[in-house]
C-alpha cells in the first residue's frame, strides 16, 4: 500500500476525490471540508457533525490586546460538559493567519489551566470581532501566497460560520486604531517587505523588519 500523498508518512487507505489519490485518515480529517468535498464522500459525515458542533454554547472567547498581532481563543461547551477550543494567531500587520492549535475534548479544569498560563489574554472578547480579524488574516495569507496552517482546517468549525463574515477596505489596517484604511501604495509596500522577510526566514525574530503606518485620522490626532 502506497503512502499518503499529503504527509508521505502514513499509509494512504482512503481515496480522496480532491487529491485524486489515496490519503491517510488523519490527513483526511484535517483537509475534510463540507463545502469542498462531494456530498457522497463516505468520510464526510463527521465533518457534518463538526458543522453542527460550531453552534454549541460558547464557554469563553478571549483575545490579546497588543497591536499588530492577535491571539484569539474560542471555546465551546459540549453536551458531555467538556470543551472544544481553537486558538489562532493572526499577524494583522504582515503575515495574516500565522498559527493555530486546538482540542476536541478538554475538561474545563484543563482549559482554565491553559488560559492561566497565557496572561496576555484580556477579558472576554466579541466573537464577531474575532471572526472578522481571523477572516482578514486568511485573506492576507492567501493574498501573499502563504500557507494556511493545516490545524486551522481541523479546528475552524469551532468558530462557526465564516462565510458570512465580510472583510472590507484595505488589506492592512492602521497600526494605531486597527480600523482605518491605508493607501494602496502603503499596502503594496507592506506586502513587499513581508514577502522579503518570509523568504529570508526572519519573521518572528529580532531581524524582522518592523513597519508602522497609520491612517489619516490617527495622523491628525498625533498632530493635535
Which pTM was predicted?
Answer: 0.75
Rounded alpha-carbon distances, angstroms, from residue 15 to 20, 23, 113, 123, 166: 7, 6, 40, 45, 35
**107 touches 75 (CB < 8 A):** no
Position 37 scores a pLDDT of: 77
Position 58 scores a pLDDT of: 93
Dump pLDDT digits (tens) for 141-160. 999 999 988 888 878 888 98
**27 touches 6 (CB < 8 A):** yes
The owner of cell 469551532 is 158
Residues of the chain with pLDDT under 70: 1, 34-35, 39-40, 42, 44-54, 123, 221-224
**Strands 69-77, 83-91: pairing kind:** antiparallel
Which residue from 45, 110, 50 is spatially nearest to 82, judged by alpha carbons?
110
Length of the chain: 224
Dump pLDDT digits (tens) for 65-93. 777 889 999 999 988 898 999 999 999 99
DSSP label of 21: E
**97 touches 90 (CB < 8 A):** yes
d(CA 153, CA 90): 15
Position 41 scores a pLDDT of: 72
In terms of phi and psi (left: phi > 0; alpha: psi -120 to 50; beta: otherwise), the region of 17 is alpha
In terms of phi and psi (left: phi > 0; alpha: psi -120 to 50; beta: otherwise), the region of 19 is alpha
Position 151 scores a pLDDT of: 85
Amino acid at each position: 500500500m502506497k503512502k499518503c500523498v499529503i504527509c508521505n508518512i502514513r499509509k494512504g487507505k482512503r481515496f480522496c476525490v480532491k487529491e485524486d489519490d489515496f490519503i491517510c485518515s488523519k490527513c483526511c480529517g484535517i483537509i475534510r471540508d463540507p463545502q469542498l468535498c462531494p456530498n457522497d464522500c463516505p468520510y464526510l459525515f463527521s465533518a457534518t457533525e463538526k458543522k453542527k458542533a460550531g453552534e454549541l454554547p460558547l464557554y469563553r472567547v478571549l483575545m490579546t490586546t497588543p497591536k499588530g498581532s492577535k491571539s484569539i481563543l474560542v471555546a465551546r461547551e459540549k453536551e458531555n460538559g467538556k470543551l472544544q477550543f481553537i486558538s489562532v494567531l493572526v499577524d494583522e500587520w504582515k503575515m495574516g493567519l500565522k498559527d493555530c492549535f486546538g482540542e476536541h475534548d478538554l475538561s474545563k479544569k484543563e482549559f482554565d489551566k491553559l488560559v492561566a498560563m497565557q496572561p496576555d489574554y484580556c477579558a472576554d472578547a466579541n466573537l464577531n470581532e474575532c471572526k472578522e480579524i481571523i477572516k482578514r488574516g486568511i485573506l492576507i495569507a492567501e493574498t501573499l501566497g502563504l500557507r494556511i496552517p493545516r490545524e486551522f482546517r481541523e479546528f475552524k468549525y469551532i468558530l462557526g460560520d465564516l462565510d458570512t463574515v465580510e472583510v472590507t477596505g484595505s488589506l492592512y489596517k492602521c497600526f494605531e486604531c486597527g480600523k482605518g484604511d491605508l493607501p494602496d501604495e502603503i499596502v503594496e509596500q507592506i506586502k513587499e517587505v513581508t514577502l522579503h522577510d518570509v523568504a529570508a526566514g526572519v519573521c518572528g525574530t529580532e531581524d524582522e523588519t518592523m513597519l508602522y503606518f497609520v491612517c489619516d485620522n490617527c495622523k491628525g490626532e498625533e498632530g493635535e
